[in-house]
Amino acid sequence: MNEIFIYENTLPKAYHQALLALENYGEITDCADWDTTQKEISVTICIGYPLEEPMISKLFIGGPKELEQYRQEVLDGILDFEIEKGNWTYTYHDRIVNYPLHGEKVGSYLNQIDFVINELKRNPSSRRAVILVRDPSIDAFDGDPACLQHIQYFIRENKLHCKVLFRSNDACKANFMNMFAFILLQKRIADALDIEVGTYTHRANSFHCYEKDFNMLKSYVKAINDPNEDNEYDYIDDWDEIMEEYKPEIDNMVKELKSH
């Protein structure tokens, strides 16, 4: 597999460079579990100033409503109830705040955000502030196991740095929203610690695009390479206000899903 490292100051620039790398260096491989082929690389994406504007790329499948819904799913767990209803086996939010414990503590659950905050307050130089998402007792037997594996936080030079590992990451349909949401989670934890946000590093062992989306990838690459295309927008005082307008619609959707 081709191994790519990307460093950019901002989220959309890093995301766009990752798409270009996939198009230029991706290898076509089989994806038997989904009966298709894929273009694939391994990529490490490091963003130097993840909160610096512009934060939004228009080159993802969705818009302000979809981004706001995903933000709420990851940060607030608005769809965690789908697990109790038996429709899903996990959400990232549920794994993060209700991780099942084993051994003598079986039957108990750990809020890993609280753990990370308390650990970094205990020892700001700690290397133990890890959020585990993979649960082998479930994922080893699930046909669609969690793609996110773990998140690790470091305080260095009084800034909170975040390292995220995905075993598998859909480049065109998921990656941008993943990074956006986990940067906002990083900010939430940094605010709780009263420190600044540092770098955000996103590792995808399989950064891929499925065959049915090859044309989507090509259209994104064309837009990135076009100097006349405006592919980046501010989040604060721009998209955040548009996203706010969709909150009532998302609330109604959640209520409708809960009622069935």
Catalogue the active-site residues: 147
The span from the CA of 26 to the CA of 43, in Å, is: 10
Confirm if 21 and 39 have CB atoms less than 8 A apart.
Answer: no
3-class DSSP string for the chain: CCEEEEEECCHHHHHHHHHHHHHHHCEEEEEHHHCEEEEEEEEEEEECCCCCCCCEECCCCCCHHHHHHHHHHHHHCCCCHHHHCCCCCCCHHHHHHCEECCHHHCCCEECHHHHHHHHHHHCCCCCCCEEECCCHHHHCCCCCCCCEEEEEEEEECCEEEEEEEECCEECCCCHHHHHHHHHHHHHHHHHHHCCEEEEEEEEEEEEEEEHHHHHHHHHHHHHHHCCCCCCEECHHHHHHHHHHHCHHHHHHHHHHHHHC
Buried b (16+ CB within 10 A) or exposed e, 80-92: bebbeeeeebbbb
How far CA 217 is from CA of 108, 168, 259, in Å, comes to 43, 17, 37
Which amino acid is it at 211? E
